[in-house]
Amino acid sequence: MQLSFLKKPISQHEGMRFPKGFLAFGRNIGIKDDTLDFGVVFSEIPCQAAAVFTRNNYPGSPILVGREHIKSGKAQAIVVNSKNSNVATGERGIEDAKDMCRATAQSLGIEPNLVIPSSTGVIGVPLPMDKIIPACLISKQFLKEANLTEFADAILTTDTKRKVSFYELEHDNRTGVIFGIAKGAGMIEPNMATMLSFIFSDFVPESDNLQAILKRVVDKTYNCLTIDSDTSTSDTVVLLASGQSGTIPEEQFEIGLLEVAKDLTKMIARDGEGATKLIELKVSNAKDEKQAKKIGKSILNSPLVKTAVYGGDPNWGRFVMAVGKVFDELIPYEGLEIFVGGISVKGADTDTKIKLSNYLKTNEFIEICVQLGTGNSEVCLWSCDLTEDYIKENAYYTT
């Protein structure tokens, strides 16, 4: 496995491995400024496809169209624009998302329902179709091999870093690659956090369970991520598996997919708005995974926990409070254990508080373990600290 967390812009692809047969590009078509704002990924052959979309009750138009298109379990291309999310744009927005698929499909010579659309950016403003449709119609000429990183750059908004990760697989003397891309919860004008992630593979699992595999992996990764408790209307994870390098046992495929997704999830957490630290929280000895996740999210969404991590405040009582405020999950206090950076903090004396404060102040990667003492289940969750820069990024209107 190789993980990458590279600064953008990047000009070299040395050391990076790409899945065979996936062509891509990112370019500027002038939606807002002169940065990359449009991209397409195209697989030479139709792929098995699976997707997980936002649970927000007001999904964006591309989500509505994407849900339709993914139903067949097949897809061959993805078309994305940034700077405009096509959310809260009504019937017209849905037509626009469909037109993006049609125009892209026409250029690529495939059926429109094999294209998954995605948009991220300002909400409530119709897409500038005068710029988007011509760009879709000439997609084909820009496609290049080994170019998924350029596409990864085109979907970024206020992320400070490109987010890509890949995993090489070997089976029966054949090699393949699972390659993932994400954009994080950097705020987008006018500031609705959105997470997009696209994952491509030239292997397909031998089983026919792509959607089930993706769902399991999403539950352990993206769904264990919280930046600020808000849920975007555009969150999307799409997986395309071409099989151009053949098939692979489901278990092996899932391990690779999990690594890539976990890696991208951590990158998104670390690059949350204003974040200075990545928090990894393991909740263990829980009654079940549901209980562990509920308690974990209560801790990671607590502004008091997040500000303590930011400033190095050794207030272990905040962790206790965050566990205790989940009214419907009674965790006996005696059995509760809390470790921060390996330091047991419940009932900490002055010396321990100094150690805890030092740990928080001197580390960018903060490990927290909470043992509930109610069973044997365990989950891992990720978040970031809460800083003045989060407030600044989100308080002021910028046009």
Q: By the criterion CB under 8 A, which residues form the site for a second copy?
A: 55-58, 87-88, 123-124, 187, 190-193, 228-233, 301-304, 307-308, 310-318, 320-327, 329-331, 333, 346-348, 357, 386-388, 390-392, 394-397
Q: Are 269 and 279 in contact (CB under 8 A)?
A: yes
Inter-CA distances, 77 with 29, 48, 235, 367, Å? 19, 11, 18, 38
What one-letter code names the amino acid at 361?
A: K
Question: From the candidates 149, 194, 265, 387, which is the catalytic residue?
Answer: 194
Residue number with CB closer to a second copy (167 or 316): 316
The H or E element containing residue 178 is strand 174-183
Which is closer to a second copy, CB of 28 or CB of 158?
Answer: 158
Residue whose CB is less far from a second copy, 254 or 329: 329
In the complex, minimum distance from the CB of residue 78 to a second copy, in angstroms, rounded to a whole number: 24
CB distance 251 to 212 below 8 Å: no
Rounded Cα–Cα distance for residues 210 and 244 (Å): 16
Residue of 278, 280, 282, 302 lying closest to 370 (CA atoms): 282
The yes-or-no answer on residue 350 being catalytic is no
41 touches 200 (CB < 8 A): yes
Joined together, the tokens standing for residue 260 give 């890539």
Shortest spacing between CB 399 and a second copy, in angstroms: 9
Kindly state the DSSP code that residue 328 receives in the 8-state scheme: T
DSSP H helices, the chain, are 61-70, 90-108, 129-137, 148-154, 210-220, 250-270, 289-300, 303-311, 317-324, 350-362, 388-395
Residue 389 Cβ vs a second copy, minimum distance, rounded to whole Å: 9
CB of residue 317 to a second copy, shortest distance in Å:
4
Q: How far is the CB of 157 from a second copy (least distance, A)?
A: 14
Q: 152 or 322, CB closer to a second copy? A: 322
Nearby residues of 380 by Cβ (< 8 Å), 6 or more positions away: 220, 224, 280, 281, 282, 283
Closer Cβ to a second copy, 68 or 313, answer by number:
313
Smallest gap, in angstroms, from Cβ of residue 124 to a second copy?
A: 6
Query: Which H helix or E strand runs over 163?
Result: strand 163-171
Taken as a whole, the chain contains a residue count of: 399
For residues 332 and 307, is the Cβ–Cβ distance under 8 A?
A: no
| CA separation for the pair 161, 185 (Å, rounded) | 12
Q: How far is the CB of 303 from a second copy (least distance, A)?
A: 5
189 versus 367: smaller Cβ distance to a second copy: 189
Question: In a 10 Å sphere around its CB, with 0-12 CB exposed, 13-18 middle and 19+ buried, how is residue 173 labelled?
Answer: exposed
Active-site residues: which are they?
A: 194
